[in-house]
Amino acid sequence: MWRRFWGRKRRDEELEEEIVHDLALEAEERAQSGLSRRDAECASRKDFGNVLLVKEATREVWAWRTLEILAQDLRYAARTLRHSPGFAATSILALALVVGVNTAIFTIFDQIAFRPLPVQDGRPHCRRLRDLSWPVRPQDARQHSHAVVP
Amino acid sequence: MSKSDHSQDRVELLQGTLDMLILRTLQWGPQHGHGVGQAIRRSSADLLQIERGSLYPALHRLEAQGLISSEWKASELNRRAKYYRLTAAGKKQLASEQSKWKLLVKAIARVMRTA
């Protein structure tokens, strides 16, 4: 059970160990039937086939399993939501509203802060435009109000 | 090697039967991958030889499905080996596949007799 929490690397190492062990065992059996150690190992390896391909095919099983579990979870979620349509509708509506409001706010903020009006600083009419929008302190406002009037 | 000498005599495994054969083999007790392959070969009188490229994926798939479980134990080589054993779910699956298989064999035999 605890093996489930080990990562992919651990599983790869275990698969390697599994295959290496089985190869050694097969070589041992051949050696006992009278083959030299070297020939036995060679024959086992030949009989085994492409180790990399075998590993690849086994890893594919893991990948498929992960996808299957994901699909299962999604199906389960959809089924649960269908069981309580009121809750589903409320959450979907809330999410839609939140996403919409966020987009609207960001659009406004983007226009104001990130993309101010495409006018260059230093030109007289531009300064006037800015001064009008931010009369921060009263004395400033008074001072600037003179400047605004053409 | 005697293994590859009479490869013409071998039969192709029917699709989907490998899982059943593995479960059946593990009914006799925990076994590692090599042992499972050898057991199938032996009990089929060398007619069936399971390719490693099918054996390991099948074992790992069955384990992921919870039909078999595995543990690392010392093997006859005195090395760490992965031993697979049948779970309760695996036993149930084996029973149902076995009865389905018997039915299939009977049905096919009947069709082939009339032909």
Q: What is the ipTM of this complex?
A: 0.77
- Chain centroid to Cα B96, Å, comes to 15
Q: Which residues are CB-neighbours of B46 under 8 A, at least 6 positions away?
A: B6, B9, B10
As a whole number of angstroms, the distance between CA A18 and CA B68 comes to: 16
pLDDT for residue A80 is more than 70: yes
As a whole number of angstroms, the distance between CA B113 and CA A94 comes to: 67
Q: Which residues of A touch B81 (CB under 8 A)?
A: 18, 21-22, 25
Band of pLDDT at residue A5, cut at 50, 70 and 90: low
Indicate the range of A16-20, A143-147, B46-50, B88-92 predicted with least confidence: A143-147
Coil/strand/helix, residue B69 = strand
Residue B78 backbone class (left: φ over 0; alpha: ψ -120 to 50; beta: rest): left
Residue in B52, B64, B81 closest to A65 by CB: B64
Q: Are A56 and B52 in contact (CB under 8 A)?
A: no
Band of pLDDT at residue B23, cut at 50, 70 and 90: very high
The pLDDT, as a whole number, for residue B2 is 41
Band of pLDDT at residue A1, cut at 50, 70 and 90: very low
Q: Are B29 and B80 in contact (CB under 8 A)?
A: no
Say yes or no for a CB contact (<8 Å) between A61 and B34: no
pLDDT for residue B3 is more than 50: no
Say yes or no for a CB contact (<8 Å) between B1 and A14: no
pLDDT tens-digit series, residues B50-108: 888 899 999 999 998 999 999 999 888 788 899 999 999 999 999 999 999 999 999 99
B38: nearest CA partner in chain A: A26
Q: Closest by alpha carbon to A11, among B77, B85, B60, B34?
A: B60
pLDDT for residue A148 is more than 60: no
First to last CA, chain B: 39
pLDDT tens-digit series, residues A63-79: 888 888 899 999 999 99
Residue in B34, B57, B79 closest to A58 by CB: B57
Q: Closest by alpha carbon to B57, among A78, A45, A46, A65?
A: A65
B74: nearest CA partner in chain A: A21
